[in-house]
Chains A and B, each alone.
Chain A
Amino acid sequence: MVRVLLNAPKQVPKGQPFNVKLLISHPMESGQRRDAMGMAIPRHIINQIVCKLDEEEVFRMNLFPAIAANPFLVFSATAEQSGTLTITFTDDNGVEQTETTPVEVV
């Protein structure tokens, strides 16, 4: 389990865009480096992030080694009704992790 900070406003106006901030603790090892012994360090990055509000997609992102360590995103979403914002990310080892935060429409 990697540490994730997912920050959305607790309450949002119906149909109005709101900003969400996401920070994921991950080295994003690029596969372009060698260790002190000269051995190539294998690539290990988060390669996909999918964000949904309940069942509907907010965005889908493919990441490459040029995304900085500890990936940071600010994106915009809209909600018509209260629900759960879900972030699911997958890394090169096939490990998948999901984080959620409630969004209440007022």
Chain B
Amino acid sequence: MKPVLLLLALLTAAAAPRSGYDDASPETRAMQDDDDANPGFLWVREGEAQWSKPAGPDGKSCASCHHDATISMRGVAARYPLIDTVSEQPMTLDQRIAQCREERQRADPLPPESEAALGLSAYVGLQSRGMPLHVRADSPFVAAGRRLFETRLGQLNLSCAQCHDERAGMKLGGATIPQGHPNGYPEYRLEWQAMGSLYRRLRDCMTGVRAEPFAPESLQAAELALYLAVRAEGLKVETPAVRP
């Protein structure tokens, strides 16, 4: 690498990540800042109810094993995705919750993007609000996620990096291209008029470049989510964030 390029690369790497919050309008930020006005809290309250609702043959709830979420789930969302010690695969928080629901609570799976699934994820995520994201960066899955992020996709032949690294801060149509960080999920999008998962957002960005989105349970989707978290190192968790 030429010295100038190397220097540039180092500078880019050193720059602190910028949350999508800072690119949103004052009205959208105000909506996120007031818990009584943030529509994401409708889902948080749903999740809080789910947390202590018995399900499955043993009549157990999340609370039966994890008790008070404000204590047991504190800081958890800030260190996901992680490499699961059993499967040795990257696992997102949503996948961990689904695993607990199906294997430990032995209850029917919650449909992805359902109020109950998003609610639980938002309620668990809220317990880390304000804490810096910090996931382990030293696995080959992170490198694989980075390669996916930098690979040109779809009929538009654009990589995530071309928009979110190279053109962040620039305008696209009426919207500012954010750096594309995962620190607010699940989040309330004005465009969706609803809460949605990080996976839903990735799917949107992939269909946006006319690419076939990675399947929700695919290794690629988890690797991408893992790399996004590494890339957002130190950004504070904002769940439930509000974005345009």
Contact = CB atoms under 8 A, between A and B. Distances in A.
Answer whether A and B touch in the complex at a CB cut-off of 8 Å. yes
A27 interface: yes
A27 B195 CA distance: 11
Given A3-B42, A5-B42, A23 B193 contact: no
Contacts of B39: 23, 25, 70, 72
B41 interface: yes
Contact of B37 (A23, A25, A27): A23
B194 interface: yes
B42 A70 contact: yes
A69 interface: yes
A5 B45 contact: yes
A21 B194 contact: no
Contacts of B36: 5, 7, 21, 23
Contacts of B42: 3, 5, 23, 25, 70
A68 B194 CA distance: 11
B165 interface: no
Nearest to A74: B37
Given A5-B36, A23-B36, A68 B193 contact: yes
Interface in B100-134: none
Contacts of A25: 39, 42, 46
A21 B31 CA distance: 13
A77 B39 CA distance: 22
B193 A27 contact: yes
Contact of A21 (B37, B45, B46): B37
B233 to A, nearest CB: 33
Interface in B22-70: 36-37, 39, 41-42, 45-46
Interface centre among B36, B41, B194 (most CB of A within 10 A): B36
A21 B36 CA distance: 7
A25 to B, nearest CB: 4
Contacts of A27: 193-194
Contact of A72 (B37, B45, B193): B37
B155 to A, nearest CB: 20
Contacts of A69: 193-194
A68 B39 CA distance: 11
A70 B42 CA distance: 9
Contacts of A23: 36-37, 39, 41-42
Nearest to B188: A70
Nearest to B46: A3
Contacts of A70: 39, 42, 193-194
B44 to A, nearest CB: 10
Interface string A56-70: 000000000000111
10 shortest A-B CB distances, which residue pairs? A69-B193, A25-B42, A21-B36, A70-B39, A7-B36, A3-B42, A3-B46, A3-B45, A23-B42, A5-B41
Interface of B: 36-37, 39, 41-42, 45-46, 193-194
Given A3-B45, A23-B39, 5 more contacts: A5-B36, A23-B37, A23-B42, A25-B39, A70-B194
